[in-house]
């Protein structure tokens, strides 16, 4: 599907141009060195050729290798349930031009291998509304002792970027119905009570807060005040709403961990939310009672590349 999708075309062209540039740089350096074996500038030209080779293989790796490497990361987080829980989080599947059914099957195998109690999918199931819902079918094979819960992301709503507005058809209702047929519960400004042997917990969720302005007070109104609460949101921007601190655990995606990162520098591009680079991936303490978990997800947007931001199945092991 390389270079065939309208939304993937600019990124794919950029990758091809970069590969061509680095090939030309290394090949040109090699030709010059062969023709000028005694020239004084050899010590300059040779490193340029080496950089061209490194650049070529870095782009090749980032575009075609790393996006296929699914890693499982484990984090221990506090949550006041009476029993420890294993929670698997997968986000930003972005099925479409870059990822399809076979990749989702691999993600599901990773999830099932952890034998989770709960599975959360915080949004961006599709890249655009042109994607096939059938590519999500493997999600129906997830095994979770106490259920699978999801929320809707900005791509599912037909929006790209913080100020992008509607770019294509809103597919959220179709996604919700498709997930329901696989017994996956989509929370859209609603909450659910999960009955467990050690005591009940509540899970609340909403569509991406960047594009759907739900009143959290109403969303959480049916949750008993003394009941442990997990809040699902596509974007970590949800913590800008003070009502979110009612939850002891907030689970989000959206950032892709920056998608393209460099060691010691972090994300090269701006994180697509209002919180910025500080909240890119991982576990964050919001206050004494609230923890924020941001998964970098498993899919890509913009370009079919990841660098030092491997597709992630995040496992949250809770303790009181």
What 3 state SS string does 300-319 have? CCCCCCCECCCCEEEEEEEE
What does pTM read for this prediction? 0.92
Residues of the chain with pLDDT under 70: 1-6, 38-42, 161-165, 211-214
Q: What is the pLDDT of residue 79?
A: 96
Q: What is the pLDDT of residue 236?
A: 94
Q: Are 305 and 63 in contact (CB under 8 A)?
A: yes
Q: What is the pLDDT of residue 1?
A: 45
The sign of the torsion formed by the CA atoms of 184, 73, 289, 199 equals positive
3 state DSSP class of 39: coil
CATH number of 71-319: 3.60.21.10
Domain ranges, ordered by start, for the chain: 9-64, 71-319
Q: What is the pLDDT of residue 30?
A: 87
CA distance 217 to 245: 11
Q: What's the token pair of residue 244?
A: 């979110």
Number of other CB atoms surrounding residue 271 within 10 Å: 23
Q: For residues 104, 110, 112 and 115, what is the CA-based torsion angle, rounded to 10 degrees? A: -150
Alpha helices by DSSP H, the chain: 9-35, 42-64, 101-113, 172-180, 216-219
């Amino acid at each position: 599907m390389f270079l065939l999708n309208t939304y993937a075309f600019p990124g794919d062209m950029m990758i091809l141009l970069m590969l061509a540039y680095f090939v030309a740089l290394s090949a040109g350096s090699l030709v010059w060195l062969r023709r000028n074996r005694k020239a004084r500038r050899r010590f300059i030209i040779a490193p340029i050729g080496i950089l061209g080779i490194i650049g070529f293989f870095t782009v090749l790796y980032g575009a075609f290798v790393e996006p296929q490497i699914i890693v499982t990361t484990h984090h221990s987080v506090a949550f006041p349930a009476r029993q420890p829980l294993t929670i698997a989080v997968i986000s930003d599947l972005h099925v479409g031009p870059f990822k399809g059914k076979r990749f989702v099957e691999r993600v599901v195998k990773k999830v099932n291998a952890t034998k989770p109690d709960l599975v959360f999918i915080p949004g961006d199931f599709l890249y655009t509304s042109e994607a096939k819902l059938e590519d999500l079918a493997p999600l129906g094979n997830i095994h979770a002792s106490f259920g699978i819960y999801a929320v809707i992301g900005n791509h599912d709503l037909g929006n790209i970027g913080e100020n992008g507005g509607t770019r294509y058809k809103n597919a959220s209702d179709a996604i919700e119905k498709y997930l329901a047929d696989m017994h996956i519960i989509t929370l859209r400004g609603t909450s659910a009570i999960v009955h467990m042997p050690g005591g009940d917990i509540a899970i609340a969720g909403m569509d991406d807060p960047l594009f759907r302005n739900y009143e959290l007070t109403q969303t959480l109104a049916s949750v008993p005040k003394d009941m442990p609460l997990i809040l699902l949101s596509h974007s970590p921007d949800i913590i800008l709403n003070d009502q979110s601190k009612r939850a002891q655990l907030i689970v989000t995606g959206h950032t892709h961990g920056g998608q393209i990162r460099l060691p010691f520098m972090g994300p090269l591009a701006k994180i697509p939310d209002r919180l910025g680079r500080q909240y890119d991936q991982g576990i964050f303490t919001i206050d004494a009672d609230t923890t924020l978990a941001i998964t970098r997800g498993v899919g890509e947007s913009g370009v079919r590349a990841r660098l030092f931001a491997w597709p992630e199945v995040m496992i949250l092991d809770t303790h009181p």
